[in-house]
Structure 1
Amino acid sequence: MSSQLRHVGIVVQNIEEWIGFLVNNLGFECWIDQIESGSFVSNLIGIPETTVRTVKLKDRTSGVIELLHFISPSSNPEISHQMTPNSLGITHIALQVDFLDRTLESLSKNGYFPINPAAISQNGKAKVCYLRGPERVLFELVELIV
């Protein structure tokens, strides 16, 4: 048996901020933007009477991030967005970028700053930094050094 990653889904509160972050700063393209409701989606996720806006964004290699904004019932506000790199579960999203310095410059104009300055990896093959994106989700940005 084999499998292939289809997409990564992220439940968000401020979907417009997320779209701007991914499209304007990181080069994603908005592929699908729709409202889903009815028995299929409600049965699929096990929450009755669900209405959710789903936005699928593609990178240049067809990697997909799916943003989900629950209209009803609304997202659970008790879930903490204070993940740290050593938290259990999914902790961050790693994205490869062409020019890390330019990407960070663009992000800083929009209020997103690295946790620490970018650094060269121990093997010397990548320039890397962490930053908090929308809703304080951690992103790892990586530029490969050729």
Structure 2
Amino acid sequence: MTQIPRAPLILGLAGLIPFVWGAITVLLPDLAMWTVGTIGPRFAGPYVMLFYGAVILSFMSGILWGFASKTTGPQAATGYALSVIPALWAFFMTGGGPTSSGLNLIFGFAGLLVLDWQFSRWGLAPEWWMPLRLLLTAVVVACLVIGVFF
């Protein structure tokens, strides 16, 4: 397994904070009430995970677009087309309520992992990309599961 460089690892783990916080506030209602009263309802429970999840899927579209730019011809066209799927998924599949939006984000992050794998298979992502993406996706999906089912 290729070691993940320190900066992407630290930034990736920091990017999990809204998901983890959202999951914790689902499991601890008193903390959720404190959060709502202190910084607002958008930062508690499933809502922080849903909003941030849509943002991150869109961000990941940009990452994949960057990978696609490293190639040419039909592979580039395919890469660009695939790269917009996570952002479009977030746009069209969230907003129908916390349960359906949460489930759709779970499917969106699972689908993103497939796209990550494909770009990695094409040699467009760094060698450490998949270990990082597997770790981050596992935590994101676990947090979203808590938001949907608890």
TM-score (norm 2): 0.29
Where relative contact order (Cα < 8 A, 6+ residues apart) is larger, the structure is 2
Q: Determine which structure has the larger helix proportion and give its number.
A: 2
Higher strand share: 1
TM-score normalised by structure 1 residue count? 0.29
